[in-house]
């Protein structure tokens, strides 16, 4: 199920930067999200590796 680029199990690239607070960037083929705050917490994170032969 997908609606406007959001899915129950999204696959995205996540980037965290610490400059004048914490900036979190989330990007996929259909969604770009950027947020800045004093503090950021990651509640859950899953990852996998894709190999190309």
The pLDDT assigned to 45 comes to 76
Q: Is 4 exposed, middle or buried (0-12, 13-18, 19+ CB in 10 A)?
A: exposed
Q: Does 49 fall in a domain?
A: no
The string of pLDDT tens digits covering residues 3-22 is 455 566 667 888 889 988 99
The pLDDT assigned to 2 comes to 41
Number of domains in the chain: 1
Burial 26-43 (b: 16+ CB within 10 A, else e): eeeeeeeeeeeeeeeeee
Question: Could you give the dihedral angle defined by the CA atoms of residues 14, 27, 47 and 5, in that order, rounded to the nearest 10 degrees?
Answer: 140
The range of the structural domain enclosing residue 23 comes to 1-40
Higher per-residue pLDDT: 16 or 47 = 16
pLDDT at residue 26 tops 50: yes
């Amino acid at each position: 199920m997908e609606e406007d680029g959001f899915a129950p199990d999204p696959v995205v690239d996540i980037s965290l930067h610490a400059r004048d607070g914490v900036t979190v960037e989330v990007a996929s083929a259909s969604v770009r999200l950027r947020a800045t705050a004093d503090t950021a917490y990651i509640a859950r994170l899953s990852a996998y590796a894709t190999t190309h032969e």
